[in-house]
Amino acid sequence: MIETPQSFVTRQECDKLAFQNGFRRAHGEADGWRHYGSTTAQGSIWLARGGDWLLALDHGGVIAEIGLEPANVDGPGLARFAFGDLGALYAVMPRLYQLAASLPDAPLAMFCDKVKNLPHSTEAERLVVQRVGQDIFRASLLDYWQGRCPLTGISDAPLLRASHIIPWKLCDTDAERLNVHNGLLLSALWDAAFDRGLVSFDDEGRPMFSPSLSDGARAALDWNAPIPLGPEHRKRLAWHRDTLFQQEQ
């Protein structure tokens, strides 16, 4: 049974949990669920208590990638999740925010807002707009991949590159250019090899090496684990293998 209305203690805990994790726009309470939004991430969250602590989400992309099993609980949003204690709920909130802030539409919305008053007439002006987009794309990939190259584990930001799977200049739309599923966060050496089509990745995220790479280069391209990929990554990597990678065979 969901606590309705929320007690003072539950309300305070819900507010603290939401505000500390980027959802600082409170939209009130209905049927025991407190509703929150964010100015920097898409979608809404709802928090409630009914024995377990409860979380509801309406962002389909976050639901697909958060890695939680939905609970059989009625309530708002597209899916609800139950947590045995508040600590378990706190543990998932940073990843929830990272996904909500980085999944496809959020970077595009930020880009459109930042460039709406910038001129686009000359080549120099278009390069400025492109740089804005690339900076947003990098920040989004840092969020999505949790600040770490998933292949090597390197987390030193100066050594990480925002690697487009389908290159910026070959994308048909800004939405595709800024889609985090069109990017990998790779360490600098891997980025250079991937950008030139000297390496690619199979559907399990394992590296594929061009025969034109020397033994020394292969040895330098060390890796710890396959890249965890979703279907949208795999679709774009199929393009990469069939075009850029094949050109190097």
Closest CA to 196 of 162, 245, 161, 137: 245
Cβ atoms < 10 Å from Cβ of 81: 22
Both tokens of residue 33?
Answer: 């669920």
**Tens of pLDDT, residues 224-240:** 999 999 999 999 999 99
Question: Is the pTM here over 0.85, yes or no?
Answer: no
What are the pLDDT digits (tens) for 90-138? Answer: 999 999 999 999 987 788 888 888 998 888 889 998 899 999 999 999 9
Q: What is the mean pLDDT of the chain?
A: 94
Domain boundaries, the chain: 8-102, 105-247
Closest CA to 76 of 98, 55, 53: 55
Please state, in angstroms and rounded to a whole number, the distance separating the CA atoms of residues 130 and 93: 32
Quote the pLDDT of residue 241: 95
Determine contact, residues 55/47, Cβ cutoff 8 Å. yes
Q: Are 226 and 204 in contact (CB under 8 A)?
A: yes
